[in-house]
């Protein structure tokens, strides 16, 4: 979660060629050994920003996939974007106090015309090291001389009605040290349940204690707890092996991703014998959602990313994260939601590369050529015993104030589902098989082999390291 939204397709809202040309020029300059400021980078020694191994936080994020972490991941096709208001801030924790000599801001088209750069060694004491009141956007390289553990960009005036947005926030300097995770909390609203009949299944409760193994933090690792799976569409069936097991044709139409064998009779044994469209192939899990219709014709997403994240939990608790148990079933969202103001609806719709449209619980009107995007976060606090529950929700909970409640004490990775549909225009043309956009919901049947899930939790989530589909940084 990917907290990923969720970072495989560039959410380049309002982006133009200028930023990319300037960024490319900067990259070529580094390759050729030419500094963007006075001085020369030694030949053959590309300068790596201190910020890339740090921990980023922000005052706000426009969407889950436009989070602060995207501004320090070393990728110029991912970005942070704030809420549409002033002021805002973006901050990076370098892990230890270090000498800072240069800051590079690679703005997306929505930049700040007025901002300050501040540093701090902790204790809430900040020192302003740069002030701008006539910012022009693009790539800005600031020569500074400062020392601090925390570096903060404070924006006070936007260039447009949108938020402020950065492809990269790069802090350069000297010094070394292991990055120390910085606590954060992301409370999430807990949807109510959907009553259904099946009895719960149980699992062996995990052992108590918090002394769990975690992998090392590789040099230059991006400090975001994440791994992912890309699981394209497989098939459509009016089946639901969680809510209506054994009742073939008993559900509204669902679109399935990942495991190719999923039907009403699927259980963990059949899934482990099935094929998969996922990358990595190790993921035999099944994911499904109500089918989207445009002008009463089914439309399937062409982007299907499932992020496993360490979000919503304080960083100091991340080492307690346990693998998702084999056979765990989770439902997110509410197929019976009554409107956009229904608190049980947790759906979100937006437009890829058109962030000015914003997000809504219902369908949004995307400009021609843009894609309709859906993202949904699953609960990730488990009661430690039940693989399912009669309502398919009460065995799971969302965290509160950065921690799992006592009733659901086991932290597991948060699943964030991001789907991108190749449709745009008047949202009156769209419907789900379950109803309006705010009835979007999703089902997850975990069939990751236990060793693969354990490895990813050990190497990616617990040490707070961003991993790809292969489960490596």
Structure confidence by residue, pLDDT tens digits, 375-399: 999 999 999 999 999 999 999 999 9
Which residues constitute the domain of residue 406? Answer: 226-461
Average pLDDT over residues 138-156: 93
- Residue 443 forms beta bridges with which residues? 288, 331
| Mean pLDDT (the chain, rounded) | 84
Residue that has been written with the tokens 């963990």 in this structure:
268
Same domain, 270 and 354: yes
Same domain, 160 and 230: no
Least trusted range by pLDDT, from 145-154, 198-207, 234-243, 269-278: 198-207
Q: 274 pLDDT exceeds 70?
A: yes
DSSP sequence for 164-215: -EEEEEEEEEE---PPPP-------PPP------PPP-B-PPPPS-S-----
Residue at 50 is within a domain: yes
Asked which of 150, 174, 198 is the last residue of a domain, the reply is: 174
Contact status, residue 371 vs residue 420, Cβ threshold 8 Å:
yes
Percent of the residues in the chain that have a pLDDT greater than 90, as a whole number: 66
Same domain, 100 and 233: no
How many structural domains is the chain composed of? 2
Tokens at 184, concatenated: 């954060």
Residue at 7 is within a domain: no
Same domain, 162 and 231: no
Give pLDDT, residue 333. Answer: 96
Residue at 215 is within a domain: no
Contact status, residue 439 vs residue 361, Cβ threshold 8 Å:
no
Give pLDDT, residue 30. Answer: 35
Give pLDDT, residue 193. Answer: 35
Cis, bond preceding 469 (omega within 30 deg of 0): no
Same domain, 309 and 406: yes
Same domain, 316 and 439: yes
Q: 171 pLDDT exceeds 80?
A: yes
- Which 3 state secondary structure label does DSSP give 97? strand
């Amino acid at each position: 979660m990917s907290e990923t939204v969720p970072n495989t397709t560039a959410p380049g809202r309002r982006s133009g060629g200028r930023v990319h040309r300037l960024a490319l020029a900067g990259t070529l300059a580094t390759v050729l050994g030419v500094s963007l400021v006075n001085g020369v980078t030694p030949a053959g020694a590309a300068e790596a920003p201190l910020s890339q191994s740090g921990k980023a936080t922000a005052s706000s994020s426009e969407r889950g996939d436009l989070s602060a972490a995207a501004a320090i991941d070393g990728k110029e096709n991912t970005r942070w974007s704030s809420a549409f208001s002033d002021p805002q801030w973006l901050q990076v924790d370098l892990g230890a106090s270090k000498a800072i000599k240069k800051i590079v801001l690679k703005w997306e088209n929505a930049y700040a015309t007025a901002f300050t750069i501040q540093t701090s060694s902790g204790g809430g004491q900040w020192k302003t090291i740069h002030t701008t009141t006539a910012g022009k956007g693009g790539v800005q390289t600031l020569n500074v001389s400062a020392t601090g553990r925390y570096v903060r960009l404070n924006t006070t005036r936007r260039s447009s009605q949108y938020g402020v947005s950065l492809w990269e926030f790069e802090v350069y300097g000297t010094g070394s040290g292991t990055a120390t995770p910085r606590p954060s909390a992301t409370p999430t609203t807990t949807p109510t349940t959907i009553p259904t009949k099946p009895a719960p299944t149980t699992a062996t409760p995990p052992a108590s204690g918090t002394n769990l193994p975690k992998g090392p933090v590789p040099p230059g690792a991006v400090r975001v707890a994440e791994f992912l799976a890309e699981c394209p569409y497989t098939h459509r069936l009016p089946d639901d092996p969680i809510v209506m097991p054994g009742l073939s044709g008993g559900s509204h139409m669902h679109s399935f991703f990942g495991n190719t064998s999923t039907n009403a009779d699927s259980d963990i044994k059949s899934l482990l014998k099935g094929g998969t469209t996922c990358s990595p192939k190790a993921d035999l899990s099944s994911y499904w959602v109500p089918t989207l219709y445009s002008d009463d014709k089914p439309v399937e997403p062409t982007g299907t990313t499932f992020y496993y994240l360490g979000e919503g939990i304080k960083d100091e608790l991340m080492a307690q994260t346990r693998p998702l148990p084999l056979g765990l079933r989770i439902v997110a969202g509410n197929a019976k939601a009554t409107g956009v103001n229904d608190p049980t609806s947790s759906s979100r719709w937006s437009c890829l590369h058109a962030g000015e449209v914003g997000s809504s619980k219902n369908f949004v009107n995307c400009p021609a050529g843009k894609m309709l995007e859906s993202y949904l976060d699953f609960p990730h606090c488990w009661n430690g015993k039940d693989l399912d529950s009669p309502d398919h929700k009460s065995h799971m909970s969302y965290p509160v104030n950065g921690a799992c409640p006592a009733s659901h004490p086991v932290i597991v990775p948060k699943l964030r589902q991001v789907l991108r549909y190749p449709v745009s225009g008047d949202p009156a043309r769209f419907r789900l098989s379950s109803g309006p956009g705010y009835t979007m919901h999703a089902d997850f049947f975990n069939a990751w082999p236990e060793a693969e899930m354990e490895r990813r939790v050990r190497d990616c989530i617990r040490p707070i390291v961003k991993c790809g589909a292969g489960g490596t940084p």
